[in-house]
Structure 1
Amino acid sequence: MNCTDLNQKLTGNSNQIFITTYHSPLGLMFLGATEKGICLVEFYDRIHLEKTLLKLAESLKAHFVEEENEHLNQLKEELSLYFDKKLQKFTIPLVFTGTDFQQKVFQSLIKIPYGSTSTYKNQAIVLGDVKAIRAVATANGLNKIAIVIPCHRIIGSNGSMVGYAGGIHRKQALLQLEGALHQNQFSLL
């Protein structure tokens, strides 16, 4: 997948999303940023990646440029520190897309501390509507800024591993890296 192919599907978008790749310990990732901050952190083999990229570009009225910017450089540094267990909280500016509700869900994810986990039900309670569990789960699945917006910290109410667009094996690895998995959870995979 390259910028030219994606940009041919976008018309009239004047803003730019600068994209680059990052070789993480868990696989190749696409990183994207506008002039205002990071808008994309996704694994290269994520399900429906092209659809996610096109939706992002449409939301931001932007086209893709294969070029680095200051935010991408900072993100690469912070990701490297994170994977080396030297960073627990990202400081990079973020550009959210999605509905107001989805953005509230993303903000609630950021508040889950490093080394901790939560559930969709707990997120719904934090957002003030325990009946919104499915909407919360759907919003989590629409997160385009993996790791930085830590949707990997959401587990099932019974402690089981639940969906993760980057793959359950990566979710487990991220939680292990953060020290958030209890020994009995390893058998659930």
Structure 2
Amino acid sequence: MPSQKATVYYTELESPIGTLLITGDGDAITGLHMERQASRPAMDEHWRRDDQRFRDAREQLAAYFEGRLHRFELPLAGAGTDFQKTVWKALREIPYGETTTYGQLASRIGNRNASRAVGLANGRNPIGIIVPCHRVIGANGSLTGYAGGIQRKQWLLAHEQAHMGR
């Protein structure tokens, strides 16, 4: 008996940084991808648009872009290794409007020598913005790589800085 491919639910949301593609499995968000992002998945016949299913995510993202929301409260299910999931969990603990380095994040998860592995896990984060990988910078303060593009990373950081006191 051939295995049946699972349905991927999705919605698209216009934002100040372009159209966002949000995917889910029916229970949780599995991805948030930006336009022209290399890891953006290709749609096929198993994809079903369902804006209502993502109502909370759409509302919270809109509030984030308006500067009114500083922490997302959404069910997430990004696919990854245990190490990647540990890094992604630590990313969610970086306060709004603040940044940390790969080395600091490695220390935070208990392995101060794993900054390169942390960088790789950060780069494979499937749920951008909600899992704020944009808040991680180089040890010298530089804006290192970002799957959505450095300009978007710069915009997101500036946006958060501008709305920290709200």
Specify the alignment match of 2:68 in structure 1.
86
Percent of residue pairs identical = 39
Counterpart of 2:10 in structure 1: which amino acid? Answer: I
Specify the alignment match of 2:9 in structure 1.
18
Separation in structure 1 between the aligned mates of residue 152 and residue 101 of structure 2, nearest angstrom: 18
Specify the alignment match of 1:37 in structure 2.
28
Where structure 1 has 5 or more consecutive residues not aligned to the other structure, the ranges are: 1-10, 58-62, 181-189
TM-score (norm 1): 0.79
Separation in structure 2 between the aligned mates of residue 44 and residue 159 of structure 1, nearest angstrom: 26
SS in 2 for 1:19: strand
Task: Please state how far the C-alpha of 1:14 moved relative to its aligned partner.
Answer: 4.1
Specify the alignment match of 2:51 in structure 1.
68
Q: 1:117 aligns with which of 88, 99, 111?
A: 99
Separation in structure 2 between the aligned mates of residue 13 and residue 90 of structure 1, nearest angstrom: 32
Specify the alignment match of 2:150 in structure 1.
168
Counterpart of 1:66 in structure 2: which amino acid? Answer: R
Work out the number of aligned pairs and report it: 160
Separation in structure 2 between the aligned mates of residue 141 and residue 89 of structure 1, nearest angstrom: 21
Separation in structure 1 between the aligned mates of residue 33 and residue 129 of structure 2, nearest angstrom: 9
Task: Please state how far the C-alpha of 1:157 moved relative to its aligned partner.
Answer: 0.9
Separation in structure 1 between the aligned mates of residue 47 and residue 92 of structure 2, nearest angstrom: 26
Specify the alignment match of 2:139 in structure 1.
157
* Contact kept in structure 2, 1:120 and 1:154, CA below 8 Å: yes
* Contact kept in structure 2, 1:18 and 1:69, CA below 8 Å: no
**CA offset digits 1:115-171 (Å, max 9, x no partner):** 110011011101111111111100001011010000000011111110000000000
* Contact kept in structure 1, 2:33 and 2:39, CA below 8 Å: no
Superposed CA RMSD: 1.9
TM-score (norm 2): 0.90
* Deviating more after overlay: 145-154 vs 16-25: 16-25
* Contact kept in structure 1, 2:21 and 2:34, CA below 8 Å: yes
Task: Please state how far the C-alpha of 1:49 moved relative to its aligned partner.
Answer: 2.2
Task: Please state how far the C-alpha of 1:66 moved relative to its aligned partner.
Answer: 2.4
Separation in structure 2 between the aligned mates of residue 131 and residue 64 of structure 1, nearest angstrom: 40
Where structure 2 has 5 or more consecutive residues not aligned to the other structure, the ranges are: none
Task: Please state how far the C-alpha of 1:68 moved relative to its aligned partner.
Answer: 2.9
